[in-house]
Amino acid sequence: MDINEKKYLEEKASRIRQHIIKMIGEAGSGHPGGSLSAADILSLLYFRKLKVDPADPKNPSRDRFILSKGHAAPVLYAALAEKGFFPIEELMTLRKINSNLQGHPHMKTVPGVEMSTGSLGQGFSIAVGLALGAAMDQADYRVYVMLGDGEIQEGIVWEAAMLAAHYKLDNLTAVLDYNGLQIDGKIEDVMSPEPIADKWRAFGWNVLEIDGHNLEEIDQALDKAASYEGQPAMIIARTIKGKGVSYMEGCADWHGKACNMDERNKALAELTSS
C-alpha cells in the first residue's frame, strides 16, 4: 500500500477507536479492551479487503465477516457505521433499551452483521459452515472470521477447525486477536492455548503470524491467506488489549467495563492526538 492508503486506514482505525470509547462510555457498560485491540484489523478488512456494499448489504456475492468474539461488538458496529451501513449517530444508542445495537451483534437488526454471536466458539463454527456452503455452491466470495485468544479454549473451535481442514476450505480466513488477556487475566494463567501456531498447523491449517497493529503486515497476510489452495488460513495477530489508550493497554481490568467521564476524556485526547 502507498503512504496515502496507509494514512487513510490509520485514520479509519483511529475513528473506530474513538467511537468505541464514546459509545461504551455513553452506555456505561461494554468491552473496550478487546474492541480496541481489533480496530486496525477491522479497518483493513472493511476499508480495503472485504467485498461489501452498504447500499446492497445482502448481495449474494458479498464477502462474509463474522465476529466470533461477539462481546467486542463495539469495534464491529464502529466499522459498519464508518462504512455507511447505518448512521454514525446510532452508535450512541449502544446497549440501550430498544436499540438495534445490543451488547452482542444481532443479524436481524443491524445491517452488515452476518451472524448473531456471543456464545464463544459458535461464530467460528458458523463461519466454517458458510465457507463449506460457498464451496459446495462454487461461489466466489470469501468468509472471514475473527476469534479471541481466550475463545480458542472452547472445544467447539477445534471441532470446527478439524472440519474446515478436512473439507479443504481455502475460501476461509480466520484471524486470531491474540492480545494475551481474557476476563480473568492472562490466557497463559487461565488456560494456556500454546503452542497456538503448532496446534493450528497440526489441525491442517496454513498459519501466518503477524503484528496485529501493523497495517502493512495485516494487508500482506490477508493477501497471502487468500492465495492458499486446499487449506484454510489462520492469521495469528499479536495485539495489545486496549490499544491506543495508555491506561487500558495490557490491562485485563478493561476487558469488560466502561470508563468514567474523566477517563473517557483522557482516552479521546490520546486517540485524537496520535
pTM over 0.95: yes
Phi, psi of 200 (to 5 degrees): -65, -40
Q: What is the pLDDT of residues 141-186, one digit of tens each?
A: 999 999 999 999 999 999 999 999 999 999 999 999 999 999 999 9
CA-CA-CA-CA torsion sign (189, 183, 70, 249): negative
Topology (CATH level 3) of domain 3-273: Rossmann fold (3.40.50)
To the nearest 10 degrees (0 to 180), the angle between helices 215-227 and 3-27 is: 100
- What pLDDT sits at residue 1? 84
pLDDT < 70 stretches in the chain: 274
- Count CA atoms within 13 Å of residue 244 on its CB side: 30
Q: Could you state, in order of their start, the residue ranges of all structural domains in the chain?
A: 3-273
Q: Which one, of 128, 125, 124, 104, lies nearest residue 116 by Cα?
A: 104
Assess whether the previous peptide bond of 57 is cis (omega < 30° from 0). Answer: no
